[in-house]
Structure 1
Amino acid sequence: MTDAAPQDIHIGFLIYPGVTALDALGPAQLLSLVPGAVMHYVWKDMEPVAADAGYTINPTDDFASCPQLDVICVPGGFGQVDLMTDDVVVDFVRKQGQGARYVTAVCTGSLLLGAAGLLDGYEASCHWAWHHQLELVGATPKKARVVRDRNRITGGGVTAGIDFGLTMVAELAGEEAAKLVQLSFEYDPQPPFDSGTPDKASAETLATSQAMVGPVVERMADAARAAQAKKDARHAAE
């Protein structure tokens, strides 16, 4: 008697201009090892997508060809600001999220889930600089590297995507599989500096960081409010 072949698990990452690639490709690298995983990198069309670091990512699916995903993940990135009120993108995320087993995000991707109405009444995490904005799109902010609320699983800032990825591997394939993946990638973080959160960074470093991202934080807040207004109007019309 032979073991049954693993069933396909369709795992999809939204890829868009200005995406922070590590938000997607870090967890994707781990999740690709889940038995039966079928990976999808999805955008409106099949043209190469420019990430925020200057290189491109080739989509495997457009919105029309993408199957119903078992896991949808929305990564963050400065390019997300323009997506918050993009009806085509928001509608794709909402419809996929309604049918997915797991609705997930890394970094500011949580805000786009909220814009699609997928975090109403759910706890979620996000990058520290945007964390407070989760309330603007109906979510309950919770500070943690990974937050799980029922089938909503969200990661904090960029590097939390690795913790998120391991969490999802355990969810889909079991804890031992996740431990094996962790060992395979030698994930044993020992950063050279202890400055990875606002609580640990010096006042000078924190102030510099806040000044650098401040304009985008404000733009995202405006986009989140506009997205919530659209969501409220949609609900009123239903």
Structure 2
Amino acid sequence: MTRLAIPLFPGFMPLDFVGPYDVLRFLPDTEVVFVATEPGPVRGADGGFALEAQATPEDITTCDILLVPGGRGTRDYAARKPLTDWIARIHETTTWTTSVCTGSLLLGAAGILTGLDATTHWNAIPELEAFGAHYTPDRVVRRGKVVTAAGVSSGIDMALTLAGLIEGDEFAKAVQLWIEYDPQPPYDTGSVAKAGAELVARTPGLIAGGARRG
């Protein structure tokens, strides 16, 4: 049995884990457990999405795959310390330790990324490097058993990469086909390199305004 553990915290970004979850759940004999400092519903970004955590860090002492999502809640390091302490402990037991988007900041706070190449959301690069990581502008970065993904949607790429490493390329290709992951976005602005300096500069304000209206 493979145990996939996903920590939750107030302000997590739903797509950070939902995309990878919908890939990794197809791994044979896989148990998925959601972990939070208290069992029960945990609300995601802007409070509009809640997910039930079945276990606390005290309940889960080992796992095979750790998947750490990001979101606004990653920045509250004092409140997240019980979770980052658990991440540091559980990392010693994992076969794979992974993060999506600003989930890498929690890996950094747990001391896992010191001296490692890693990626994160483009708007969190200074914070990542403050933890001693070397930012690498790739969509998925693997260093040993630590696999980090860039912003939000790249978690699907990371999970498919992991599925290929665990079960082989044919299996991962089959999962990609099953979920019909064939991105054809209407705009070609999905990276800093493509978006242009003006849009990059304006995006944090545009997104913050949209979040307030929502």
> Which TM-score applies when normalising by structure 2?
0.91
In structure 1, the residue corresponding to 2:38 is in which secondary structure?
coil
Say if 2:5 is the partner of 1:12.
Answer: yes
Moved over 4 A (4+): none
**Aligned residue for 2:212?**
none
Q: Does 1:23 align with 2:16?
A: yes
Q: What is the rounded CA distance, in whole Å, between the counterparts of 1:181 and 1:75 in structure 2?
A: 21
| 1:211 to partner: Cα distance | 3.3
Please say if residues 140 and 158 of structure 2, whose CA atoms lie closer than 8 Å, have aligned partners that are also in contact. yes
Residue correspondences, number: 207
Q: Which residue does 1:122 correspond to in 2?
A: 116
Aligned twin of 1:76: 70
Q: Highest Rg: 1 or 2?
A: 1
Deviation, 1:133, is 2.6
CA–CA distance in structure 1, aligned partners of residues 105 and 160 of structure 2: 22
Structure-2 separation of matches of 1:61 and 1:212: 37
SS in 2 for 1:205: helix
- The 5 Å alignment of 1:25-174 reads 25-52=18-45, 54-83=48-77, 86-174=80-168
**2: distance between equivalents of 1:103 and 1:186?**
26
Which residue is 2:211 aligned to? none
Q: Deviations over 1:126-182 (max 9, x none)?
A: 011112332210111111110001111000000101101101111221111100000
Deviation at 1:56, TM superposition (A): 0.5
Give the distance between the partners of 1:84 and 1:101, measured in 2 at CA: 28
Larger displacement relative to structure 2 (17-26 or 126-135): 126-135
> How far did 1:41 drift?
1.0
2:181 aligns with 187
Letter in 2 for 1:46: P
- For the Cα contact (< 8 Å) 2:104–2:128, is it kept in 1? yes
Contact 1:43 1:61 in 2 (8 A): yes
- TM-superposition CA deviations, 1:185-223 (whole Å, max 9, x none): 111101000111122114442222133579xxxxxxxxx
Q: Under a length normalisation based on structure 1, what TM-score does the superposition of the two structures give? A: 0.82
- CA shift, 1:89, in A, is 1.4
Task: Calculate percent identity across the aligned residue pairs.
Answer: 36
Q: Does 1:210 align with 2:204?
A: yes
Say whether the 8 Å CA contact 1:131–1:141 is kept in structure 2. yes
Quick check: 1:84–1:115 contact (8 Å CA) kept in 2? no
* Structure 1 segments unaligned to the other structure (5+ residues): 1-7, 215-238
Q: CA RMSD in A?
A: 1.6
Q: Distance in 2 between matches of 1:84 and 1:69?
A: 24
Gaps of 5+ in 2: 209-214
In 2: Cα distance, 1:202 partner to 1:134 partner: 22
